[in-house]
Amino acid sequence: MAIKEMIELINRDNYVEGYATDNQQLWNTRIQALEATGEDILIEVLPGTYFVKGSLRLISKATIQTTMDSKLNPTKEKAIFIFGLGTDGEAGFSNLPTSENPNYLHDVCIQDVRFEFMIKAGNEGISLTLDYTKLNFLASPSLLTITGPYVGNYTPYKGMRNISIRNVEVDGKSVGKNGFNFGGIENLRVIDCDIKNIGYLSGISLEFCHDVILEGNQTTNTGRAGIQIYRGNEKVSVINNKVTDWMQRYGVYHYYSVNDPKNSTEMFDGGIDSYGPNNTELVITGNHVTAGWDEVERVNNAVPKENPCNPNIIALHGNTAVNPVDVNTRKNRPLPTTPHTLYLPYRLSGASNVRLQGNTAKVRSVHIFGFLFAAQREVSKNPTEKAIGEVSDVVVTENMLELEGEIRLPLRTITVKKRNNVERNDDGTSVTHTRGIGLEILDNDFYMKGIINGSGQTGVVSSFTTKPRFMTIRLGEENGRTVMSEEVVLHNNRIYHQPLEGYYPEKWAQPDLLLVASPENIGDTVIKHVAVNNNRLTTHKKETAFETVLNERIEVLHKSLFVEKVVYDDVTPSQDYQSQCFLPICTVELHKGNVKIDEASVNSQGTFLFSNIATKLVERTATYSFIGKDIRGNQVEQVAITFLSDVSITTDTDYTIHDTQITGTYGTEIYAIKLQTTGMTKNATLDGTGRYAISVEDMMISPGDILELIAIDRQGVERYRLPVRVLEAPLDYTLTGSDYTLGTDQITGTFGRDIRVVSAVIRNIEVPVTITGINTFQVTGLAAKNIRWEDTFILRGKGVDDEICQEIEIQYLDYGMTVVTYVIAYPERALTGTHGHSIAGVSLWIDGKEMLDIPMDGNGNYTLKDTTILLTSVSKEVEIVGRNEWGQEASRIPVIMSSLFQVTAQDYTIGETATFAGTYSDSVFKVRLWVNGEVVEQAATDGNGNYTFAKASTFIKTVNDIVEIVGVNKVYQERVRLLVRVNAPKDYSLTTSSFVINQSKILTGTFGKDIQGVRLCVNGVNKTSATLSTDGSYRFENAAQHITNATLKVEVQGVDGAFVERKRIPVAVTVWKDYDLKVETYPVEYPQLLGTYGKDIVTVQLWVNGVNKGQATNIANQVGKYSFMEMRKYGIATASKVEVRGLDATKKVQVITPVVVKPALQATLTAPANYKLGTKEIAGACGKDIAYVRFSVNAVVKQQATIDRVTNKYKVTYANNFISATTNKVEIIGLDKAYVEMRRVSIPVIK
């Protein structure tokens, strides 16, 4: 039996290390205990924010989710786990695999939660960082890890199964490795997850997984790929996902820590990426990939942006932690000569058996690689063995891909193979045949705006080619030897290429060739077979057929010598088969497998005929073909015979107007089916088992329309066309209406598609009907009609001819009830009243409990006799409840209880009720207050039936006090006693922060527990309501929009649950003044003191040891900066108290900033005692804080001396060129690094 466990973690709005550690220990301890039970576990957590130091362990047979209990989580919020690094460097949810214990999991489900990394905390060891160093990258965790221990070599593993991740949000805060990291899993499902801001790598990463569905997910701002199918994965479906802004960071790490500087390779992982090797059976469909696509920038013809990795590579080049000095070359890695990181929407490396269909892409950048890259992937399994992942059996079809900017190579392939399969001959021997699929690119739309520049030198106009290529096929390598590709097919593709305004439109050049072998200047054959057919190139100038191929090293597939594809009609078989072929075929042989079973000659018109062919093609599972031979008997061509049932299509039924879909069957040769009608084409969905469906809801098909189904094979060739008959639909005149409950305001209903008008008639008077949706309506305002049980209520529907086609009568429900006031007095002994027609039973309830059924007379009346025992006090809550025919409560009314002696009293609230008052009947002589069984006060009465107790608060102290009102007669006998409800005091406290205009954005405060709403009032008008927190605080996020002037009367109002005002307090509003005053540190004996001041400071004063030393001067042309010159004259020592004061326009001191005084700079300066005319050099010494030494003659600086920073000695050369007489004034001047004069020494001149 499954165990349901609520793990209650510590919920905090901020990080506290002790609590974060406790959360990890609490989780892991409880998980260990649950794991020991061996049962299925449902683990729930409450919505909240949970900081965790380290990782949280996952176990098998466990479901982890935020509780969706409506009482515990009424708003359906997700629990948020925020992870910081543990002492072991781990973080996130993980199965914690190690080489000793891989900890393989099974049957795990995680849903309705949110994961985040922590990037700011007091302890730097807790926060995650991203610094592009190898050590930091290797140690970075993922937010969710369910994988085996990572091994660099290609070493497949498995052991996990049945993992499901649904509706999980992830925010990596641009740190960490992956969002989701999966490996070795059989049956993995990742559905409807939102993954963003992943640091180094990908939103979702897979390795060695089998049977995977990734559907409806969204990744945004990932370091590497959005979705990466890493290596060794089988049967992966990537469906309807959205990838935005991938490859934002990893390119930097790749350049400095992965890339071989001697053999540099660019980085262009796809938004959806097969890295390889050995990813097979991939279905990638319905996905959208986008980067840099900004519609505003497109409209304004802005230059497309760079990939952010490339400027970061340049910015970090001098950072030795990222780009250390190589121990061998003793040099840093140089900057790349071309952009290292490029955008590529889809990549298929090391991938086979792939269907890339119905996807879209929009990429805008100057750093684009292309639309698609497919290449063989070769990696090491061990020092002597390689794992090779071939590209084969890949179909790329019906995609719409858009690129804008600068594009390297639109389509690029390296080493495409044709997968082989083994067939059995009739004699039991085997023979290898090719399946005929290498890489097929069919029926796609490729949109390009901008420059195709294969050189890679982005923005270098001189490198722009005038004859760009659209697709290139390159020679590859396998185990150190060169290998060629085997087959590529391009069929029925549409290529659009235009200049991009704002990015070298004058240098634009359209593709010169559709397909070339690369590189173009070598003699090796690159690819055996290429087939190109019906491709179109459209530019802003013209549309042309685009079949040009540079075939110097490409063997172009020949066209068939048979006039038509050979299709045998096994549905309505004929005895003869006749067709035509071309020379040099002279004889056509009919083969079953490898065995010849018949032969026909070709006549002079090229016609050949096989008689009685139906008797020869009888084994449906066998392989039949025609072989054409020349006059010498040499085989020229072999073509397979296709059975019509393999290429035909059927419909299950004729199409009837208003049907939502057309369904039927299709043959094994059919790859796509289209429904065609005038001006519109719709693609069918094929299930792979011979069934198809086409949704036609949006096609607006009418009688007389001509519909045709067209079946297309894998090569894009039409194989079958089937007309579809369109039938009229029967008229739909259905009309329904809900029962009407007397006294309510509306009914609702539905009407058939062929009803044009719905009307309602009550008492022969038509009332308005409102259409509320497709085939729905309502009638409102019925309460005001005072409809009675005997009235008729008719609904009518009119058809296209405005004739009434349907009419129904609305049924009534009458749940009305009355009751006669009950008086507690002898001889009154009955409780009576009336009930509506739909009431089937009446019962008496006292103080919330059902007591008994009340007899009904069948005429709409009920009577309860002998009530003496039950109805004894006016203090009781007495109700009459009416039930419908199913025994369900339909109506409930209170019974007014009366007495000859009556008193009433209000509830008493401790600390709040000022005057305790009530009413009494004429029969009551005196009213007394009883507390805890004793009379404590007699009321004052006004003679009009009202009484008050003046001192009630003296006696009623707690909610547990028993408080009663007692009425007595004139002989002071008790005649009535009423129990009073005592309420606890209400907490209506309310506080508020002050608000500073031009500075404050929000307004905050606290509220008492009985305040249910907080409002912002400006000049007596409620402007907005605050957001309330469970900790008793509130926030007005948009306060600045409403508090715009300090003269406004601003108040905060607190209301209770009934929206009654309970508290109102003023908000202090002031206008922010810029009284900022900063000052630099002052070294003793420094000549000046500098600082900055805010715009509302008018005067800055210097105070030394409590004495005002003067007023600062403004620094010329530098707004907001001040200076005190001649600071030395104030005799400031390190122990001096120095401060600057800022005064406003009224001379009032607004701010005092202390000056930090530090020891004097080492600014000594020595010079020779005198200078003898004719001497070439002047030498001396200076302190280390002297940055410059200048040589001055007659107050003019002639030279800046050279300083030896090891000895701090300076030297002036060629002084004799400037000093000419003993009357010259010679000075040596020392300046600091800010060019402030620190010392000046005069040198006398002698002969």
What are the CA-CA distances from residue 946 to residues 899, 900, 920 (Å)? Answer: 17, 16, 6
Residue 433's pLDDT is 39
- The answer on pLDDT for 244 being more than 90 is yes
Any long-range contacts for 1035-1039 (C-beta under 8 Å, 24+ apart)? 1035/1002, 1035/1003, 1035/1004, 1036/1002, 1036/1003, 1036/1004, 1037/1001, 1037/1002, 1038/1002, 1039/995, 1039/1000, 1039/1001, 1039/1002, 1039/1003
Helix or strand holding residue 313 (H, E): helix 309-315
What are the CA-CA distances from residue 1041 to residues 17, 34, 1023, 1033 (Å)? Answer: 38, 53, 10, 21
Residue 1236's pLDDT is 87
Q: Is 779 exposed, middle or buried (0-12, 13-18, 19+ CB in 10 A)?
A: buried
**Which of the two residues, 523 and 1026, has the higher pLDDT score?**
1026
What class has domain 735-813?
mainly beta
Q: What's the rounded Cα separation, in Å, for the pair 921 and 968?
A: 11
Q: What's the rounded Cα separation, in Å, for the pair 180 and 176?
A: 11
In this prediction, residue 681 has a pLDDT band, given cuts at 50, 70 and 90, of confident
Residue 303's pLDDT is 94
Residue 482's pLDDT is 82
The count of other CB atoms within 10 Å of the CB of residue 424 is: 11
Percent of the chain with pLDDT over 70: 94
Q: Per this entry, what is the length of the chain?
A: 1247
**Per-residue pLDDT tens for 428-482?**
554 443 334 688 888 899 999 999 998 888 888 888 988 899 999 988 888 878 8
**Which of the two residues, 988 and 341, has the higher pLDDT score?**
341
The CATH topology of domain 1077-1158 is Immunoglobulin-like (2.60.40)
Q: Which CATH code of 3.40.50.11260, 3.40.50.620, 3.90.230.10, 2.60.40.10 fits the domain covering 900-983? A: 2.60.40.10
Mean pLDDT of the 246-253 span? 95
Residue 127's pLDDT is 85
Q: Where are the domains of the chain?
A: 3-258+308-341, 567-644, 648-727, 735-813, 817-896, 900-983, 995-1071, 1077-1158, 1171-1246
Residue 491's pLDDT is 75
Mean pLDDT of the 31-38 span? 92
Decide: helix, strand or coil at residue 666.
strand
Q: Which CATH code of 2.40.50.840, 2.60.120.10, 3.40.50.620, 2.60.40.10 fits the domain covering 1171-1246? A: 2.60.40.10
In this prediction, residue 419 has a pLDDT band, given cuts at 50, 70 and 90, of low
**Per-residue pLDDT tens for 1118-1144?**
778 999 988 989 999 999 999 999 999
Mean pLDDT of the 1097-1124 span? 87
Q: What's the rounded Cα separation, in Å, for the pair 753 and 496?
A: 44
- Residue whose token pair is 């069919």: 442
What class has domain 648-727?
mainly beta
Residue 584's pLDDT is 57
Residue 557's pLDDT is 46
**Per-residue pLDDT tens for 578-590?**
888 765 578 999 9
Q: What does DSSP say about strands 527-533 and 554-556: parallel, antiparallel, or unpaired?
A: parallel
Mean pLDDT of the 178-187 span? 97
Beta strands in 1026-1164 (DSSP E): 1027-1028, 1033-1036, 1050-1055, 1061-1066, 1069-1071, 1077-1079, 1082-1083, 1089-1093, 1099-1104, 1107-1111, 1113-1114, 1121-1124, 1138-1143, 1149-1154, 1157-1158
Name the residue among 94, 72, 68, 62 with its Cα closest to residue 81. 94
Any long-range contacts for 1115-1121 (C-beta under 8 Å, 24+ apart)? 1115/1090, 1120/1092, 1120/1093, 1120/1094, 1120/1095, 1121/1090, 1121/1091, 1121/1092, 1121/1093
Contact 484, 518 (CB under 8 A): no
Name the residue among 937, 936, 933 with its Cα closest to residue 962. 933
Q: What is the CA radius of gyration of the chain?
A: 45
**Per-residue pLDDT tens for 384-394?**
888 888 899 89
Q: Do domains 648-727 and 735-813 have the same CATH topology?
A: yes
Confidence (pTM): 0.51
Residue 866's pLDDT is 75
Name the residue among 719, 729, 723 with its Cα closest to residue 676. 723
In this prediction, residue 421 has a pLDDT band, given cuts at 50, 70 and 90, of very low
In this prediction, residue 515 has a pLDDT band, given cuts at 50, 70 and 90, of confident
- The answer on pLDDT for 678 being more than 90 is no
- The answer on pLDDT for 906 being more than 90 is no
What's the helix, strand, coil split of the chain in %, to 5? 5, 45, 45
**Per-residue pLDDT tens for 1146-1177?**
999 999 999 999 999 999 999 999 999 999 99
Helix or strand holding residue 953 (H, E): helix 952-955
1056 Cβ partners below 8 Å, 6+ apart? 986, 988, 1010, 1011, 1012, 1062
The CATH topology of domain 567-644 is Immunoglobulin-like (2.60.40)
Residue 605's pLDDT is 76
Mean pLDDT of the 829-848 span? 90
Contact 778, 770 (CB under 8 A): yes
752 Cβ partners below 8 Å, 6+ apart? 731, 732, 733, 734, 735, 775, 797, 806
**Per-residue pLDDT tens for 1049-1088?**
999 999 988 888 889 999 999 988 888 999 999 999 899 9
Decide: helix, strand or coil at residue 252.
helix
Q: What's the rounded Cα separation, in Å, for the pair 350 and 210?
A: 16
Q: Which two tokens stand for residue 508?
A: 């634009």
Q: Which residue type does 440 have?
A: E
Say which DSSP state 1046 is in: T
Q: Which residue type does 41 have?
A: I
- The answer on pLDDT for 791 being more than 60 is yes
* Dihedral over Cα of 106, 112, 117, 121: its sign: negative
Q: Which residue type does 794 have?
A: I
Residue 396's pLDDT is 93
Name the residue among 495, 490, 508, 494 with its Cα closest to residue 451. 508
Decide: helix, strand or coil at residue 914.
coil
Considering the domain delimited by 817-896, tell me its CATH architecture.
Answer: Sandwich (2.60)
- The answer on pLDDT for 426 being more than 60 is no
Residue 727's pLDDT is 86
Mean pLDDT of the 263-269 span? 86
Residue 1030's pLDDT is 92
- The answer on pLDDT for 149 being more than 90 is no
Mean pLDDT of the 331-341 span? 88
Average pLDDT score over the chain: 88
Residue 521's pLDDT is 60
Give 1247's Cβ-side CA count (13 Å radius): 0
The count of other CB atoms within 10 Å of the CB of residue 926 is: 15
**Per-residue pLDDT tens for 483-493?**
888 878 787 78
Residue 1171's pLDDT is 94
Q: Which two tokens stand for residue 198?
A: 């992943």
**Per-residue pLDDT tens for 812-824?**
999 999 988 776 6
Percent of the chain with pLDDT over 90: 56
**Which of the two residues, 946 and 730, has the higher pLDDT score?**
946
Mean pLDDT of the 787-801 span? 90
Provide the CATH number for the domain formed by 995-1071 in this structure: 2.60.40.10
Q: Which residue type does 317 have?
A: H
